[in-house]
Amino acid sequence: MDTSFLGPVLPLREQAPLRNAWLRQRLDTLLPELMERAGLDMWLVVAREYNEDPVIMTLLPEPEMAARRRTILVFSRRPDGSVERLTVSRYALGGLYDAVWNPDDEEQDVCLRRVVHARNPRRIGVNVSRTFAFADGLSHQEHERLVAALGPELSVRMVSAEPLAIGWLERRTAEELARYPQLVAMGHRLIARAFSRAVIRPGETTTDDVIWWMRQTLHDHGLRPWFQPNCEIQAPGQRYDAAEKRVIIQPGDLLWCDVGFSYLGLCTDQQQHAYVLRDGEADAPAGLRAALAAGNRLQDLLLAEMRVGRTGNEVLRASRERAIAEGITPSIYTHPLGYHGHAAGPTIGLWDRQGGVAGNGDYPLYDSTVYSIELNAVSAVPEWDGQPVRIALEEDAALVGNRMSWLDGRQEALHLI
């Protein structure tokens, strides 16, 4: 399959040094700031192979793919504010961490206690959290073992590292932000090709055909989907909330897709719409174009409310109030993007929780973060006898300098097939 239309993707061998350079820079410059902000003197990240903490996978250098056996990373703040990086593990980790354990001389837990005791931290962060799964990667057994290894004098100083873990995962560096538009542009090109005659033959092609074409194309191009793509039909007599939906694409259909992938350790997430022209049509019905415009207006209102320091719930409430005042029927379920698709950071609504999300929605927005602006607006379409049509949009944007901006634009006109 020819996938060159998506644009260049670095070979894996060339991706590794780039990602390691990003990681080294993050460890050198970002981690000290975040540890100070969280008020932690030490951060312990502990995981076993096949049961990896979500955070540890972002701390391991390429080409590591797992926490070998039992991997322990120790981050300790020095008096000058810099961070000492140690590994109490059997295997070396690419020069980013100083190895301090000789398995021939002492047990791993004995070494860990010696290292921690020598630095005498007041507050030791560990990855336990009631609110964020991303910050709750320390397993029950490892927590018990850690308490036993440190002993009562040191283990009593352990606190949740939630602010540090979430901060580490959500913050993007200038280099990562500079590369992100390339990823989003590839997603836009994928959708444009999927919603074209190159893939869709009305009367023959099914929504499953489109779904698997997108997934196979990503795979063949060296991009990893982080969820199964989706494609659905709305049409006169087929509502967006129909229990059973036609799957063969026909002229006059409004199509929707949802697709996201990972490249260079960063994720995308996008939803767009297309209209299948009937014989003699040169454009989609005006009612569908107006429905898309309402979705775009909801995007504008949401982005205007996304400011540093505001919580996800505050942003949700303010943007919904403005949308409803303008006659829009809104549903907002926006989430952070980054190392993960549904990533660390503030939740701005869920499709079934439009009144706010306790915990995750109370987390504030920080600068230099990326979001999937995911939402929908429902509009009545006159040409479809007033049938409600849901325009579900998802585009990727960054909060930089306390200003939201699209990483590669957004859909403002329906794809025409």
Percentage of residues in the chain having pLDDT higher than 90:
95
Q: Which of the four CATH numbers 3.90.230.10, 3.30.70.580, 3.30.300.210, 3.30.1490.20 does domain 172-416 have?
A: 3.90.230.10
Q: Stretch 243-257: mean pLDDT, rounded?
A: 96
The mean pLDDT value of the chain amounts to 97
* pLDDT (tens digit per residue) in 12-22: 999 999 999 99
pLDDT of residue 26: 98
Residue 94's pLDDT is what?
73
For residue 92, the model assigns a pLDDT of 76
Q: Does the pLDDT of residue 372 top 80, yes or no?
A: yes
Average pLDDT over residues 130-157: 96
**Are 7 and 223 a contacting pair, CB within 8 Å?**
no
Cβ neighbours of residue 342 under 8 Å, at least 6 residues apart?
Answer: 335, 336
Q: What is the percentage of the chain residues whose pLDDT exceeds 70? A: 100
Positive or negative torsion for Cα 359, 364, 369, 371: positive
For residue 25, what pLDDT band results from cuts at 50, 70 and 90?
Answer: very high
Give the pTM: 0.96
Reported as a single tens digit per residue, the pLDDT across 388-405 is 999 999 999 999 999 999
Note the Cα 406 to chain centre separation in Å.
15
131 Cβ contact list (under 8 Å, min separation 6): 162, 359, 360, 363
Cα 72 to its chain centre, rounded Å, is 25
pLDDT of res. 236: 97
pLDDT of residue 185: 98
The pLDDT value recorded for residue 348 is 98
Q: Where are the domains of the chain?
A: 12-168, 172-416
Q: What is the rounded average pLDDT of the residues 137-148?
A: 97
- Would you say residue 68 has pLDDT above 90? no
Long-range contacts of 226-229 (CB under 8 A, 24+ apart): 226/260, 226/261, 226/262, 226/267, 226/340, 226/341, 227/260, 227/341, 229/257, 229/258, 229/259
Give residue 91's pLDDT band: very low, low, confident or very high (50, 70, 90).
Answer: confident
Confidence of residue 73 (pLDDT cuts 50, 70, 90): very high
Q: Which fold is adopted by the domain 12-168? A: Creatine Amidinohydrolase; Chain A, domain 1 (3.40.350)
pLDDT digits (tens, 9 = 90+) for 282-294: 999 999 999 999 9
Can you tell me whether residue 335 is helix, strand or coil? strand
How large is the average pLDDT for residues 69-77?
A: 96
pLDDT digit string, tens, across residues 180-195: 999 999 999 999 999 9
Same fold? 12-168, 172-416: no
pLDDT category of residue 64 using cuts at 50, 70 and 90: confident
Higher pLDDT, 1 or 5: 5
Helix or strand or coil: residue 248? strand
How far apart (Å, rounded) are the C-alpha atoms in residues 121 and 377? 51
Q: pLDDT tens-digit profile of 306-361?
A: 999 999 999 999 999 999 999 999 999 999 999 999 999 999 999 999 999 999 99
